[in-house]
Chain A
Amino acid sequence: MKLQRKNRLRAIAAGALAVSGALVLTACGSDDNSKESNGGGDSTKAAGPIKCEGKGDLLASGSSAQQNAMDLWVKNYSDECDGTKVNYKATGSGAGIQEFLQGKTAFAGSDSALKPEEVAASKKICKGGQGINLPMVGGPIAVGFNVSGVDKLTLDAETLSKIFDSKIKKWDDEAIKKLNPDANLPDLKIQAFHRSDDSGTTDNFTKYLKAASPAAWPHEPGKAWEGEGGQSADGSSGVSAQVKQVNGAISYFELSYAASSSLKTVALDTGADAPVEATVDNASKAIAEAKVVGEGKDLALKLAYDTKAPGAYPITLVTYEIACDKGNKADTAEATKSFLAYTASEGGQTSLKELGYAPLPAAIATKVRDTVSTLS
């Protein structure tokens, strides 16, 4: 008798362990700075007309870069629509696409467009159709720095490439001085931080370096960091915390992280007549230069990283929602359509501004709205 009771106790203990293990795991997954998203709610109440069509639970997962945007949209949408519950889990783009391709979710959020083999796989899920990319959340990737005595810093793509590739090692390097004749640059070692985890932010940042200064950035762009040397930290919160902590540090992260840790950001010399600051409006201008390269209803974008348009901040990230053009799951198709119609609406887009995201420019937003209205 006694023995059995002991075993039961052990089983309970094991169960408790498993639960706490799961909690730790979930804690690892989130990479949000939710402080930002909480404030947004009320002022954006007038988020535009939300049409509640369809009912049911919408499950979605994917990119953590759009988590704050999703949180706000989900909150606004469910305030209006009682019948629909939207649940977006920021599992990372890779996991999001995978869950979508397994038919577990209604749509996926992703930092990059579907690859050809993923489109092929999506045909199994989308009866009579395929998965398409809908650009939905855009945002600038800021280059934050912490150099005592320096408040303003202008860099160009070539200098940035060399800094992040450990070719430029000191803050008072000639190349930096030339771009910042007025700044009081110290004789201090540059500590360039990159992400230690694979990330869409790294992907977009290195795509920019490669596109805007191919000679100075010899590495292939990708989610994993390829550059020489430098230091790394885990997640956007990790690298921004390091920049805050270390004198001489520089790194890249979504603009909201710069705002939440009050870090100074680099203005880019793109070749336009004046250096461009990392702001949401400037990012929208750069996204407007993007070309739609997707075929048919697919709206995958090719961002113009080397744009010289005045006031356009070229290091931008556009994340997509991925859904079926035809053959969305019958029980959630209507609700998916209605929710995405809201997120693409003018109200839905402009409400993102205060979270550090850039609203889609009118031309692209219109295309997204038109496509969403044809989903079935």
Chain B
Amino acid sequence: MDIKPTSPTSPPPQDQPPLAVDKAGSTGTAARPGDRIFLAFSRGSGIALLVVMAAIAIFLTVRATRALTKNEGSFLTTFEWAANGAHPNFGIAVLLYGTVVSAVIAMVIAVPVAIGIALFISHYAPRPLASTIGYLIDLLAAVPSIVYGLWGALFLVPHLEGLYKWFDDYLGWTGIFEYNDGTPRSLFTIGILLAIMILPTVTSVSREVFLQVPKMHEEAALALGATRWEVIRMSVLPFGRSGIISASMLGLGRALGETMAVATVLSTSFDIQPSLLDSGGGTIAQNIASGFKEATDVEGSVGRDALIASGLVLFVLTLIVNGAARMIIARRKEYSGANA
């Protein structure tokens, strides 16, 4: 039983990064001006990126240090943000909790749905439908976050009360799904909103990966008598795993840093609510947006520096998330098609 490729199979893993440019430039053949210009340009761009990153990191660290040395509370455990006065007292705990929890909720909701959409587009839908859906998903990514914020505050929030009451009735005993009447402008609402916002990112990257699964793998599985679901389970998902992970991490990055939508929808407070459904809490980016306009920045006052210190925490958090994603992908390098 030989498998005949019906179409010339696309070369499996996508192009290895072409040999470094400078090598190509020095292989003996006379470099044309175009080569030199392009080499200088690309090298310059690479350096510029490093310079920008360094500038951001240094700026954040210097200003954050200024704030942290003046802080009279503990930056890690204080449940308060009073940085503008003569006795600054602020802590990141509530914001860090809110940032991480809302992003995790978003991931839990968005990733399965996104994989479903991506599989539907790549393996189930007839071509015209697939391209329409793909287009709509990409459109979702183009909506500015403030628009999501307004939609969330004016449409989503009033319509969530029923769902939350249902959660309270059946899952209220867990404590984390308790809902005391209020307006449903909680971390869970933020999670739902963020899930919608990261859906296009996760979907389109996953879709690209699923489309790159070598036809031979799938056809081999089909030849063994596998159903479509079994094909997906045995060949598509394992091949795409690292791609799904990097797609999710891209989405997580967006969810962690989302500002305007959160600031518009969330009802903030500086404490950690035991229930996810009760309004309260805050996120790092939202707190910066809310506090920056009136933060003090004269000598001897650290209002702005404190906000910048929280920005540093977010910066580090994103670095860790991206680093973790890179590590996972590097471990499965054979499928570098995902490493888009």
Contact = CB atoms under 8 A, between A and B. Distances in A.
Interface in A187-232: 189, 191, 196-200, 222-224, 229-232
B297 A234 contact: no
A101 interface: yes
Contacts of B303: 94
Contact of A229 (B266, B269, B294): B269
B180 to A, nearest CB: 9
A196 B153 contact: no
Interface string B253-268: 0000000100110111
B143 to A, nearest CB: 12
Contacts, number: 99
A56 B286 CA distance: 39
Contact of B183 (A29, A200, A242): A242
B294 A197 contact: yes
A363 interface: no
Interface size classification for chain B: 35 or more
B293 interface: yes
B141 interface: no
B181 A117 contact: no
Interface size classification for chain A: 35 or more
Given A24-B144, A24-B145, A29-B293, A198 B298 contact: no
Contact of A28 (B34, B182, B185, B289): B289
A118 B264 contact: no
Nearest to A92: B293
B301 interface: yes
A200 B298 contact: no
B123 to A, nearest CB: 31
A245 interface: yes
A183 interface: no
Given A7-B41, A24-B145, A198-B84, A117 B182 contact: no
Contacts of A4: 34, 37-38, 41
Interface string B73-84: 000000001101
A95 B260 contact: no
Contact of B264 (A3, A94, A97, A234): A234
A223 B294 contact: yes
A44 interface: no
Interface in A3-45: 3-4, 7, 20, 24, 27-29
B260 A231 contact: no
A330 interface: no
B146 A232 contact: no
Interface in B258-310: 260, 263-264, 266-269, 279, 282, 286, 289-291, 293-301, 303
A121 B294 contact: no
A98 B263 contact: no
Contacts of B282: 196
A296 to B, nearest CB: 21
